Amino acid sequence: MEYFFNDDEKKLKQKAREIAENLVLPIRDEMDEKGEFPLELVKEMGRQGLLKIFIPEEYGGTGEKIMDMCIVCEEIARICAGAATAYAVGALGSGPIVHFATEEQKKKYLPKIATGELLCAFGLTEASAGSDVANIQTVARKEGDYYILNGVKQFISNASVSDVYTVLASTDKSRGARGISAFIVEKDMPGLSYGKEENKLGIRTSVTTELVFEDCKIPKENLMGKEGMGFIYTMRNFDRARPGVGAMALGIAQGAFESVLDFTYKHDLLNNQYIQRKVADMATEIEAARALIYAAARMIDSGTRGFSKESSFAKLYPSDIAMKVTTEAIEILGLYGVLKEYHIEKRLRDAKITQIYEGTSQIQRAVIAIELTREMGTREKDKEK
């Protein structure tokens, strides 16, 4: 389908495809097998300008357009969603700095994040706080000119390879979600160490590690924005980031679908009615996912306020479609589908993760339902006027 990309978007798509095919493809299997982070690849993506797309122009970036992020995520994930995650975590980590940090903080960190000199990550999840963000147990105690952080973040993508972290901690436990604050933590700050590195089902190319804070001393200047605003910053950050996860799921589905087409054509299966129905449904659902992602991205980039529902649409549907397409692709390829060399089993493993991180599919449904309820309330109030 024609999505009327402008010239810059067309060039970006072409560049991302070349990077995916020339730089990601040759290392894909080894990185997935070993569960290794492709540091040199991410640095090269920085040198080629792909990290700039997370950052506004005034800080050395190219405008922080969600559409650009989706274009790149889809292309890289078409080859390897682990590499796409290793790349896109930069947006999740830098997003709160872009939108909620002070001018000094922005000037200090963003230009270096734009070039890839600094890699950044996002530390929210804990043993008892994944979906339930308000239940964060990590605490930040103010002592003179410092905050002292104590707690353990788990499942943090790119943790052990990043230089800067946006970290959520409670500054006032009695206030629940309204007592959560966000901090910019640098890797060398005393009291920060790395814990367990996870051995995962999928997205293995993006390392996932614990961040351990033991009396970690953070200068008070590294509080992001205002105390007690961390929960809101997190939700707004997710709203901007989720279409990127949807785009990764789309790339996974697209890659699997291309293998299915190739296989069924070569084996003369495309005139089989059962196969015809399967590939027609896959093609339609993939295109529907793409349209949903691009519509959400265009809406966010237009400057519209309030896009939680559309952002959740753009993660929920594509990640469910990625699971469906990869599962059915294995069925169609039969025994070849489970062989590593066809890369469908890898895509199935990667697809499952897109239904979990940055809010599970159940949480996306909850967000959509909350927004629908809110819209109904507004409509009823308007009627009463």
Ligand X SMILES: Cc1cc2nc3c(=O)[nH]c(=O)nc-3n(C[C@H](O)[C@H](O)[C@H](O)COP(=O)(O)OP(=O)(O)OC[C@H]3O[C@@H](n4cnc5c(N)ncnc54)[C@H](O)[C@@H]3O)c2cc1C
Residue selected from 362, 370, 373, 376 as contacting ligand X according to rule CB under 6 A:
362
Distance CA 153, CA 203 (A): 19
End-to-end CA, the chain: 43
Q: Is the CB of 240 or the CB of 298 nearer to ligand X?
A: 240
3-state SS, residue 37: coil
Q: At how many degrees (to 10) do helices 361-384 and 308-333 cross?
A: 140
Distance CA 379, CA 370 (A): 14
Answer whether 331's CB lies under 8 Å from 348's CB: no
Residue selected from 62, 157, 237, 308 as contacting ligand X according to rule CB under 6 A:
157
125 binds ligand X (CB under 6 A): yes
Residue selected from 72, 81, 203, 297 as contacting ligand X according to rule CB under 6 A:
203
Residue with tokens 């939700």: 235
359 binds ligand X (CB under 6 A): yes
Catalytic residue among 75, 328, 345, 358: 358
358 is catalytic: yes
Q: Which of residues 73-112 bind ligand X (CB under 6 A)?
A: 89
324 binds ligand X (CB under 6 A): no
Residue selected from 241, 332, 356, 367 as contacting ligand X according to rule CB under 6 A:
356
Q: Is the CB of 112 or the CB of 349 nearer to ligand X?
A: 349
Residue selected from 122, 213, 263, 342 as contacting ligand X according to rule CB under 6 A:
122
Q: Is the CB of 12 or the CB of 367 nearer to ligand X?
A: 367
Distance CA 32, CA 83 (A): 9
In 3-state terms, the chain is what percent helix, strand and coil (to 5)? Answer: 65, 15, 25
Q: Is the CB of 200 or the CB of 324 nearer to ligand X?
A: 200
Distance CA 364, CA 239 (A): 10
124 binds ligand X (CB under 6 A): yes
* Count of other CB atoms within 10 angstroms of residue 239: 21
Answer whether 134's CB lies under 8 Å from 271's CB: no
Q: How far is the CB of 201 from ligand X (least distance, A)?
A: 8
Q: Which residues bind ligand X (CB under 6 A)?
A: 89, 121-125, 130-132, 155-157, 200, 203, 208, 353, 356-360, 362-363, 366
Q: Please identify every residue annotated as catalytic.
A: 358
